[in-house]
C-alpha cells in the first residue's frame, strides 16, 4: 500500500510516519530527510538543493522526481512524507505507480495555520532517525536528547521564524492544489484527518482508517 501524507509543514506527518514505521511494516520515505542526508554527505544534489531549502522554497521538480524514481524502484508498503508537493510530482508518481500496477491513497492532515507556526517554532529533531519532538506538545524524556539513542536533538536550521512564513505560503500556493488532484470523488483517493487532535489520538485514527479503507488510505 502506498500512503501519501499530505498537509502543511508542521501538520504532524513526520511524527505519525515514524510512529507507524515503528509499529507496522511501513517504511517512511521523507523527501526532506533524504535531501538533508544528501546535504550532510555533500553530494551534487545536496549542494543544488541547499539554497532552496534554506530559503523555504521547493527544490525543483526535476531533481526531486529523479531522486524518487530510484527510491521507489522496489517499494510496496510505504508512507510518502513530503512527496508529492506539486502537481508535476503527483503526475510523475502516478505514472511510476501505474507502471508497477500500484495505486496510492492520500491522507490529508488538517491543521489551522495559526497552530502550525507554534508547532514549527518548538520542534526538535533527531537527525539520524528523523524522530520528532516538541518542547511543549511532545517533549523528550530528557530535554535536548533523543529518547532512544540518547543523542543530542537539533532545531532544524532551515526553520527560523522568518522562513516559516515562506514555507507556509509555498505550501498554499504549490502543494494545496494537490487536495483537488486527489479528491476526485470517483477515485476516492483522499481522506481528511483532524490533525489538531493529540498525537496518540491522530495515530489511532490513522490506524482505523488504514484498517477500514485499505484501498483509499
Q: Which of the listed partners (ligand ADP, ligand AMP, none) does 105 bind, with a CB threshold of 5 to 8 Å by partner kind?
A: none
Q: Which stretch binds ligand AMP (CB under 6 A): 82-90, 92-100, 108-116, 204-212?
A: 82-90
Q: Which three cell numbers stand for residue 54?
A: 534554506
Is residue 109 a contact residue for ligand AMP (CB under 6 A)? Answer: no
Catalytic residue, chosen from 18, 39, 119, 123, is 123
Is residue 123 a contact residue for ligand AMP (CB under 6 A)? Answer: no
Is residue 133 a contact residue for ligand AMP (CB under 6 A)? Answer: no
Residue 189 known to be catalytic: no
List of residues contacting ligand ADP (CB under 6 A): 7, 9-15, 119, 122-123, 132-134, 137-138, 197-199, 202
Q: Which of the listed partners (ligand AMP, ligand ADP, none) does 10 bind, with a CB threshold of 5 to 8 Å by partner kind?
A: ligand ADP
Among 7, 12, 32, 105, binds ligand AMP (CB under 6 A): 32
Give the span between the Cα atoms of 175 and 190, in whole angstroms: 14
| Least separation in angstroms between CB 137 and ligand ADP | 3
Residue 136 known to be catalytic: no
Q: Name the nearest CA neighbour of 91 among 191, 182, 183.
A: 182
CA 53 vs. chain centroid, Å, equals 15
Burial 182-211 (b: 16+ CB within 10 A, else e): beeeeeebbbebebeeebeebbebbeebbe
Among 15, 28, 31, 125, binds ligand AMP (CB under 6 A): 31
Q: Which of the listed partners (ligand ADP, ligand AMP, none) does 191 bind, with a CB threshold of 5 to 8 Å by partner kind?
A: none
Residue 167 known to be catalytic: yes
Is residue 83 a contact residue for ligand AMP (CB under 6 A)? Answer: yes
Catalytic center residues: 13, 85, 123, 156, 167
Amino acid at each position: 500500500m502506498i500512503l501519501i501524507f499530505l498537509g502543511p509543514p508542521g501538520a504532524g506527518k513526520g511524527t505519525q510516519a515514524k510512529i507507524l514505521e515503528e509499529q507496522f511494516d511501513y517504511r517512511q520515505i521523507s523527501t526532506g530527510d533524504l535531501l538533508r542526508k544528501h546535504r550532510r554527505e555533500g553530494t551534487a544534489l545536496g549542494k543544488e538543493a541547499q539554497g532552496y531549502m534554506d530559503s523555504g522554497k521547493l527544490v525543483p521538480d526535476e531533481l526531486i522526481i529523479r531522486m524518487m524514481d530510484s527510491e521507489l524502484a522496489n517499494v510496496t508498503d510505504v508512507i510518502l512524507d513530503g512527496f508529492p508537493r506539486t502537481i508535476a510530482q503527483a503526475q510523475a508518481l502516478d505514472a511510476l505507480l501505474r507502471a508497477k500496477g500500484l495505486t496510492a491513497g492520500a491522507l490529508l492532515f488538517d491543521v489551522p495555520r495559526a497552530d502550525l507556526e507554534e508547532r514549527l517554532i518548538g520542534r526538535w529533531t533527531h537527525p539520524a532517525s528523523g524522530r520528532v519532538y516538541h518542547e511543549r506538545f511532545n517533549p523528550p524524556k530528557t530535554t535536548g536528547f533523543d529518547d532512544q539513542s540518547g543523542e543530542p536533538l537539533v532545531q532544524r536550521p532551515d526553520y527560523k521564524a522568518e522562513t516559516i512564513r515562506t514555507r507556509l505560503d509555498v505550501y498554499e500556493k504549490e502543494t494545496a492544489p494537490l487536495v483537488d488532484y486527489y479528491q476526485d470523488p470517483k477515485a476516492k483517493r483522499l481522506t481528511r484527518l483532524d490533525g489538531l487532535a493529540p498525537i496518540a489520538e491522530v495515530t489511532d485514527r490513522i490506524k482505523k482508517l488504514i484498517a477500514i479503507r485499505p484501498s483509499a488510505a
